[in-house]
Amino acid sequence: MELLISVSFLSTIVCFLSSGTLGALRPRGVSLPKKIFYDPSQQFYCLDGSGQFPFHFVNDDFCDCEDGSDEPGTAACRNGVFNCLNHGHESVNLPSSRVNDGICDCCDSSDEYRSSADCLNNCKELGEKALEAAKAVREKFLKGEEIRNEYIKLGKEKKDEYRTLLKELNKQEKEALKVKNEKQDEKENAETRENLILAKEREFKKAQQKRMAAEKRRLIEHQLQEEAEGHKAFSELDINKDGKLTPNEIKVFNRFDYDGDGKVSDNEVQFYMHKKDKMSLEEFLSNGWKIMKPAFTIEETEEKTLDPPLDKEDQKLPSENEELQIPADNNEKIEILKDAALARKDFADADKLYRDIQAEIWHLKRKLDADFGEEDEFLVLETQCFEFSEKRYMYRLCPFDKVIQVVKVSNEETLIGLWESWSSDDEHYKRMKYTRGASCWNGPNRSVEVKLQCGTENKITSVEESSPCTYLLEFTTPALCKTLPPEIKKILKNDVDFI
């Protein structure tokens, strides 16, 4: 059960057990603390200093003072104050306009001394009930206070643990930085070897590609030269220029006298003509020229069989009989690449460890610098979350972190607030502010205010959307059970069992 007493409830049950008695000369409606200002043997001075009058002007049913202090027991002044002494219960101040209005406002019925209202004096009964309620409140408060003291102890231990861990992490950070730098040097050295062998391999492949391109170029040039020579030979052999070679045209040329008997025989003609009666230019270039070319070049065989001269770029390439120098054998290359990959992995692991330690140090410093109460009594809440369920939504409060709203039907979560700070007003540790929640469809970002109250357990007791996209949560916690509420102290101050 939470330690919760509303102001309206207290106004009804608060008990003031007075051990004093009413002095005979105290004017009606004057509270005991103000009795000294009402001395019938002297002039009466308005409490605001607005005037002075003979004492018999007090309670004469005519308002003489601007503050109404001369008429505490009548309704003559609109701003007058009537005090119900209420022996056995709480003394109450009323607007003097309620005096003799036919309604019983004072439990001792002193406000209706000239009216027909049938008022009963029930101050004793109300006071006894208020006293019992106050004792129950005090009992629960003491339980909460006991838990709070345990929270303070746990908070101190946790902060000490954080400080010890921070010292250890600072040492680990230095060691991790040293290892990281070493692994970085190893990585750079391994990558230098890797880049060297890869660069040589790229040069090797580039040289191969250049040589293949040069060989292809020479082949094309050779083919073009062959074709040009074929065209020239065909033109020479085609005596009648009809675009066809015939056996008679072949016989004219002694270069086709293969056996050297001084004439070109039919057999020799059939050999060079592929046993055909006619040969077109296309057939000549594709088949005939290959057989006839030696007959055209017999005298220049040695000169013609030489390769055409290389251009400057081709001269830089290795010859066909010269093997290109491979940078390293495959096993050596594999080892170098493996070493580089391993060095990169080792560096990445070392760098990650260093960054993880730095992140943990940052979080620890934030916790050590965070405001968890005057005596760190709220620190125990930092790792917990609390839920509150209503008809449509479920709310999850994680102190010093966030507040979530969950739609029960779909289980869809909406962030309605991130921890920002304690309230900056007089109720510093009684209100939490959560801002920067998800945007509302029609405007502002959602935000939450958490109102804390003393209680024997950590619990959300109510949730209200106080205005669009602004939420108010009420939360009880023993961490707030530091001081007994003054209204409870007032009730208990005359109880013999109260210390």
Give the per-residue pLDDT at 325.
52
pLDDT higher for 266 or 164? 164
Give the per-residue pLDDT at 182.
96
Give CA 277 to chain center in angstroms.
92
Asked if pLDDT for residue 499 goes beyond 90, the answer is no
- Name 190's Cβ contacts closer than 8 Å, sequence gap at least 6: 336, 339, 340, 342, 343, 344
Asked if pLDDT for residue 1 goes beyond 70, the answer is no
Q: Provide the mean pLDDT of the chain.
A: 84
Q: What is the mean pLDDT of residues 193-220?
A: 87
pLDDT confidence tier of residue 399, bands split at 50, 70 and 90: very high
pLDDT confidence tier of residue 303, bands split at 50, 70 and 90: very low
Convert the pLDDT of each residue in 269-302 to its tens digit.
888 888 888 888 888 888 888 888 888 876 455 4
CA dist 401 → 28, 398, 458 (Å): 57, 5, 16
* Rounded Cα distance, 199 and 191, in Å: 12
* Rounded Cα distance, 75 and 62, in Å: 9
Asked if pLDDT for residue 140 goes beyond 90, the answer is no
User: What is the percent of the chain with per-residue pLDDT over 90, rounded to a whole number?
Assistant: 51
Q: What is the mean pLDDT of residues 140-169?
A: 93
Highest mean pLDDT among 7-11, 17-21, 83-87, 124-128: 83-87
Helix/strand/coil percentages in the chain, nearest 5: 45, 15, 35
pLDDT confidence tier of residue 262, bands split at 50, 70 and 90: confident
Asked if pLDDT for residue 5 goes beyond 60, the answer is no
Task: Look up tokens 């939420």; give the residue.
Answer: 471
Convert the pLDDT of each residue in 478-492 to its tens digit.
998 887 776 666 666
Convert the pLDDT of each residue in 324-357 to its tens digit.
455 557 888 889 999 999 999 999 999 999 999 9
Q: How crowded is the C-beta side of 330, counted as CA atoms within 13 Å?
A: 0
pLDDT confidence tier of residue 145, bands split at 50, 70 and 90: confident
Give the per-residue pLDDT at 15.
28
Q: What is the mean pLDDT of residues 12-17?
A: 29
* Rounded Cα distance, 421 and 9, in Å: 31
Give the per-residue pLDDT at 298.
64
Dihedral Cα 154, 155, 159, 165, nearest 10 deg: 40
Q: Report yes or no on whether pTM surpasses 0.85.
A: no
CA dist 243 → 106, 231, 240, 406 (Å): 141, 11, 8, 94
Convert the pLDDT of each residue in 45-69 to its tens digit.
999 999 999 999 999 999 999 999 9
Strand-strand pairing, 470-477 and 447-454: parallel
Give the per-residue pLDDT at 293.
85
Give the per-residue pLDDT at 495.
56
* Cα 359–Cα 383–Cα 463 angle in degrees, nearest 5: 125
Task: Look up tokens 């209204």; give the residue.
Answer: 487
pLDDT confidence tier of residue 141, bands split at 50, 70 and 90: confident
Asked if pLDDT for residue 134 goes beyond 90, the answer is no
Q: What is the mean pLDDT of residues 362-370?
A: 93
Asked if pLDDT for residue 111 goes beyond 80, the answer is yes
pLDDT confidence tier of residue 200, bands split at 50, 70 and 90: confident
